[in-house]
């Protein structure tokens, strides 16, 4: 029986997936590599460090460990410049209604994000109070597609994996949910997000009547 819902952040609650793309694209251009939409799809849900490792592989570029650290910091600064402009109006369609309905039905919500900026973004959009548990990249040792992010969130809420549904916009995240023994609902195209039991365009399309 389902008792709780676990939400990814970037691309599920707000359009920060797009900001990550803009910032990575700018960095990739310095390596003379044009980051495509398809590349970006493969980076969704992937940690900051692993994303840069992949981009360097695609660009066939070698950089020093010092440069690697510096480039991570620069990418994050560009990303945070965009986040700085965000406010409660930047929630994706249907998010407010989804949260209100969950609260009305007393269904606990957790956040399970690969981002170290998760709390900053949640504060910006005014949603930090909506979650009974928040798990971000700083609390886990293995990122998505490993299930640790979501199993930690479930534990913090006090539920087993089979009592949780995960909402994700990334393939890595869907895989993380499924390998953790949870159900997975995808936000996005079925062709990009194989394995999910249901595909919706945004949280507003989720029908709480289907909760069980
Ligand atoms: C995930 C995003 O939520 O967080 C990735 O889908 C991003 O695109 C990752 O790289 C890490 O985010 P941050 O904010 O820690 O750089
Ligand atoms: Mg995401």
Tens-place pLDDT, residues 158-175: 999 999 999 999 999 999
Compute the half-sphere exposure of residue 91: CA atoms within 13 Å on the CB side of its CA: 17
- Going by C-alpha positions, the residue among 87, 125, 120, 92 that lies closest to residue 15 is 92
Residue 205, pLDDT > 80, answer yes
Catalytic residue list contains 10: yes
Atom of ligand 1 nearest to the CA of 170: 6
Q: What percent of the chain has pLDDT over 70?
A: 99
Q: What average pLDDT does this structure show over 24-45?
A: 96
Residue 209, pLDDT > 90, answer no
For atom 11 of ligand 1, the residue with the nearest CA is 115
Atom of ligand 1 nearest to the CA of 51: 10
User: For the chain, what is the mean pLDDT?
Assistant: 96
Q: What average pLDDT does this structure show over 135-164?
A: 97
Site of tokens 């309905």: 101
| Tokens, residue 94 | 């249907």
Residues with CB under 6 Å of ligand 1 are 9-10, 17, 20, 43-48, 51, 76, 113-117, 137, 170
Q: Which ligand is nearest to the CA of 41?
A: 1
Catalytic residue list contains 50: no
- Going by C-alpha positions, the residue among 13, 11, 207 that lies closest to residue 109 is 13
For 47, phi and psi rounded to 5 degrees?
Answer: -65, 165
Q: What average pLDDT does this structure show over 37-54?
A: 96
Q: In what order do the strands lie in the sheet with 198-200?
A: 133-135, 109-112, 4-7, 164-168, 183-187, 198-200
**Residue 1 pLDDT:** 85
Which residues are within 8 A (CB) of 36 and not within 5 positions of it... i.e. 6 or more apart? none
**Residue 69 pLDDT:** 98
Tell me how far the alpha carbon of residue 50 lies from the centroid of ligand 1, in angstroms.
Answer: 10
For 133, phi and psi rounded to 5 degrees?
Answer: -145, 145
**Residue 121 pLDDT:** 98
Alpha helices by DSSP H, listed for the chain, are 16-30, 37-43, 48-59, 65-84, 95-104, 118-124, 148-157, 171-179
**Residue 212 pLDDT:** 63
Q: Which ligand is nearest to the CA of 173?
A: 2
pLDDT digit string, tens, across residues 84-101:
999 999 999 999 999 999
Give CA–CA dist 147/70, Å, rounded: 29
Atom of ligand 1 nearest to the CA of 137: 15
Choice from 10, 77, 143 to test ligand 1 binding pocket (greatest atom count within 8 A of CB): 10
Give CA–CA dist 122/143, Å, rounded: 20
């Amino acid at each position: 029986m389902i008792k709780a819902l676990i939400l990814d952040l970037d691309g599920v609650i707000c359009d920060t997936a797009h900001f990550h793309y803009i910032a990575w694209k700018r960095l990739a251009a310095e390596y003379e590599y044009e980051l495509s939409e398809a590349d970006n799809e493969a980076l969704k849900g992937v940690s900051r460090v692993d994303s840069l490792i992949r981009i360097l592989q695609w660009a066939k570029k070698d950089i020093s460990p010092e440069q690697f650290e510096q480039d991570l910091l620069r990418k994050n600064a560009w990303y945070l410049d965009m986040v700085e402009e965000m406010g409660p109006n930047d929630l994706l369609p249907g998010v407010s209604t989804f949260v209100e309905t969950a609260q009305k039905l007393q269904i606990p919500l957790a956040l399970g994000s690969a981002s170290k900026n998760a709390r900053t973004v949640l504060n910006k959009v005014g949603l930090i109070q909506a979650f009974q548990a928040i798990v971000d990249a700083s609390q886990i040792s293995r990122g998505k597609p490993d299930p640790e992010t979501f199993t930690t969130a479930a534990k913090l809420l006090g539920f087993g994996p089979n009592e949780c549904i995960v909402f994700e916009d990334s393939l890595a995240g869907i895989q993380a949910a499924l390998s953790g023994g949870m159900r997975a609902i995808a936000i996005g195209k079925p062709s990009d997000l194989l394995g999910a039991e249901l595909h919706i365009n945004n949280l507003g399309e989720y029908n709480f009547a289907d909760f069980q």
